[in-house]
Amino acid sequence: MSELDLRQVNAEIEADADKRRRQDREIAQLEQDIEQAWADIAESESSLHVIDEDGDPLEQAASLAALDPHVPIGSRRGLRSVKWIIRKLSYWYARFLTDQFNVFAGALIRHLRNVETRLGRLEGAAGYLGDGTVPAGFGVLDNPPEPSAEVVSHVAGLAGSGPCLVLSGGEGAIVEAIGQRGISAHGVEQDPDRVLAGLRRRIDIRAGGVLPHLVGAEDGEFATIVLTGFVENLPLRDLVGMVNQASLKLKKTGRIVVAVADPATRARVEAELGSGLGISPVTWRHLLEQAGFDASLEPCPDSRITEIVVAQRTAPPS
Amino acid sequence: MSPTVDLLIPQMASGDATSNHTRLIQQLLEEKGFETRVVVERRSRSDGSDLSVEKWKGDARVSILQHSIGSEVAQFVIRKKTPVVLNYHNITPASYFQAWQPELAKSVQRGRQQLAKLVRLTRRGIADSEFNAQELRDLGIDDVVVAPVLWKLGSSVPPDGQGDSTDIDGAGTVLFVGRLAPNKCQHDLIAAFAVLSRFRPQSRLVLVGQASPPQYLHSLKSLARRLGVHSRVVFAGKVSDKNLLQWYQLSDVLACTSEHEGFGVPLVEAMANGLPVVAYDAAAVAETVQDAGIVIRDKRPVTMALALHRVLSDTPLRQSLRHRGVTSAQRFDISVTREQMWIALKDLVEVGD
């Protein structure tokens, strides 16, 4: 290309921005609103002490409780010798004290861990699942594998003619297959690695939680909503909320497609770890029928997802 | 017996640019036949070969101090009155952290106070950029040499810079790489992205980097949610080198709204990977980018958004920036920067050999 004058490009951009601010009140107002939004947020949150939500509180407590006598303490001119002597004298005493404190903190943490274990056992016996999530590192319950070609093909064939939303769409195979049929589709995925893999293939996969994304969508926006992936490991409470929200976001003639594995086919260890998480296709059908859909099960030639639930709306959303 | 060169740094940490830089200087000097030793404030568990500053005698022929924050290492240099080569990476003004992380604000303030005391002990200043060099000269250090940060530039783009010429339509991935910190002003980038979404509803913003402080990340998420763009903003966190390279390859433009950059490593990495750069003209940014990117003086959301929109929509402009970036990034190839660093140190370390 011919030699480009970047100063000219910069001038054009700045002139265009000024022009839009002058001529488009909405743009000018938007800029002011954004500035105000940040001013509000920064003022309210900057001085807050936010604890790492992902960290184990006991680990944080243990870390905070451990004092380190090796931390250098610095010096000022003229006080060097005095500080050196004080430092040497106080070093062993400080170390003794911190050792004692660390032992005490360790014992306290051990007791708290015992209490936590006992409470966990009690909660387990009572069937309480805490926040309903499974800790990382427990195999297939962490995040179900990507759907097979059979599932992708079957689900894509069920997409209606309008916009389609795939919840927990993984790397986007279903979104891609639906798109190849000329239907507008996008997916939502909470695993950043899968989002990255999808984006690399230029598939419209958006990062974030499935339920917040669904809540944020327009009412009546989608012709088809596909529930798959992580959805199969959610507790019933979340699933009911999801069905209600999906129902609101569907067009009058929309449909919900559920492609999840049956929890009854889980191996024993996974079944125990995932107790209370996920429901079978038959229960999905029941749930969707209760929500006013005409639901049916379609067999799918896949080793994990053997049945796909197709729910067509028959009654207007409540 | 004492080594020829002591390399002083607060702490060696994996993935830290200054730590990598120090190791590469050490490698360079050892290849030239000089004995070196890394002196740290706190020894890392993984590497027991480094010397704790408390045992440091300051008797090496040359001591090179890495300075970018208040540190005990700098305090020992001042206390021992040891002449040093001051490798200056700039210190972020404390005002950026006062409201978010007061302890960090104190630490950078201490770094500034130490810098003033280090002036009389400095044999030579080595600055990453002319911007940093000028700051040292203003403090009264006359012998200042510019030698950029040493790091191995990862790139997958052919040297001719030819490649992607596809139209991005209504989409486009905007990338930011660096710590999520108040001085980097990612809130301005999210604001610009909210405006950009009006023009390009399918666009995405990817923020790669660790949050410091965590409250700031929390606020960025709140802002994205309040502006209705949260589903299109990816907070990728700290990533491996391999993943970082993938993000550079995957994205369509690198945006930088930072108000304080002593050099700007991600700007160079983006250019080396053929990614066009749109940046706010602050500190050393313009000097690093030169004529290989769009450097604007106004980062109000509409202006920044239009700059990004222009780069995403104008394929010839994007191709030109890509080509210029790849060419320009060669200035910072490790073979070039090593030579610059060697020239900066040669006469000092060779005395007496």
Kindly report, residue by residue over A261-313, the tens digit of the pLDDT.
Answer: 998 888 887 788 788 888 999 999 999 998 889 999 999 999 889 999 999 98
Other C-beta atoms within 10 Å of B52: how many?
13
Percent of chain B with pLDDT over 70: 93
Asked if the domains at B5-152+333-350 and B173-331 fall in one CATH topology, the answer is yes
The interface residues of chain A toward chain B in range 51-80, judged by CB-CB distance below 8 A, are 52, 70-72, 74-75, 77, 80
Residue A69 reports pLDDT greater than 50: no
Closest partner residue to A50 (CB to CB) among B214, B232, B296 is: B214
Partners of A52 on chain B (C-beta within 8 Å) are 214
CB pairs under 8 A between A and B: 132
**Does A46 contact chain B (CB < 8 Å)?**
yes
pLDDT at position A110, please?
A: 84
pLDDT in tens, B274-327: 999 999 999 999 999 999 999 999 999 999 999 999 999 999 999 999 999 999
ipTM of the complex: 0.85
Give the pLDDT confidence of A134-162 residue by residue, as tens digits. Answer: 555 555 566 788 999 999 999 999 998 88
Contact A31, B300 (CB under 8 A): yes
Q: Is 60 exceeded by the pLDDT of residue B108?
A: yes
Mean pLDDT lowest among A13-27, A104-118, B72-86, B126-140: A104-118
- The CA distance from B236 to the nearest CA of chain A, in Å, is 7
Selected residue of A13, A27, A40, A60 to mutate for chain B interface (largest B Cβ count, 10 A): A13
What contacts A308, CB < 8 A, 6 or more positions away? A151, A154, A155, A158, A257, A258, A259, A281, A297, A298, A300
The pLDDT-based confidence of B220 (bands split at 50, 70, 90) is very high
Strand pairing category for B233-237 and B204-208? parallel
B243 at A interface, C-beta within 8 A: yes
Tell me the per-residue pLDDT of A179-212, one tens digit each, with 9 for 90 and over: 999 999 999 998 888 888 888 888 988 888 888 8
- For chain B, domain boundaries: 5-152+333-350, 173-331
Residues B273 and B157: beta-carbon distance below 8 Å: yes
The residue with greater pLDDT, B264 or A267, is B264
pLDDT band at B166 (very low <50, low <70, confident <90, very high): low
Residue A61 confidence class, pLDDT cut points 50, 70, 90? low
The answer to whether A282 touches A297, Cβ cutoff 8 Å, is: yes
Q: Does B106 touch chain A (CB under 8 A)?
A: no
> What was the pLDDT predicted at A163?
93
Name the more confident of B24 and A91.
Answer: B24
Tens-digit pLDDT profile for residues B48-78: 678 888 888 888 999 999 999 999 999 999 9
Mean pLDDT calculated for residue range A210-231: 89
Domain B173-331 = CATH 3.90.700.10:
no
**Residue A97 — pLDDT band, cuts 50, 70, 90?**
confident
Q: Please determine, for residue B167, whether its predicted confidence score (pLDDT) is greater than 90.
A: no
pLDDT at A3 over 70: no
| Digit-coded pLDDT (tens) for B5-37 | 999 999 888 778 889 999 999 999 999 999 999
CATH code for B5-152+333-350? 3.40.50.2000
Q: With 70 as the cut, is the pLDDT of residue A78 above it?
A: no
What is the predicted pLDDT for the residue at A34?
Answer: 93
How much is the pLDDT for A102? 82
Mean pLDDT of chain B: 89
Residue A214 confidence (pLDDT): 86
How far is residue A274's CA from residue A106's CA, in Å, rounded to a whole number?
A: 32
pLDDT at res. B185: 96
Q: Which two tokens stand for residue B42?
A: 């706190």
Q: How far is CA B98 from the centre of its chain?
A: 21
Q: Which helix (H) or strand (E) holds A308?
A: strand A307-313
The winner for highest mean pLDDT among A183-192, A231-240, B132-141 is B132-141
Beta bridge partners of B174: B205, B253
* Inter-chain touch A37–B227, beta carbons under 8 Å: yes
Q: Touching check for A25 and chain B: CB below 8 Å?
A: no
pLDDT at A50: 44
If pLDDT is split at 50, 70 and 90, which confidence band does B160 have?
Answer: very low
Show the beta-strand stretches assigned E in chain B: 5-9, 36-40, 51-52, 62-67, 84-88, 122-127, 144-146, 173-177, 204-208, 233-237, 253-256, 277-280, 294-296
Q: Is B151 helix (H, G, I), strand (E, B) or coil?
A: coil
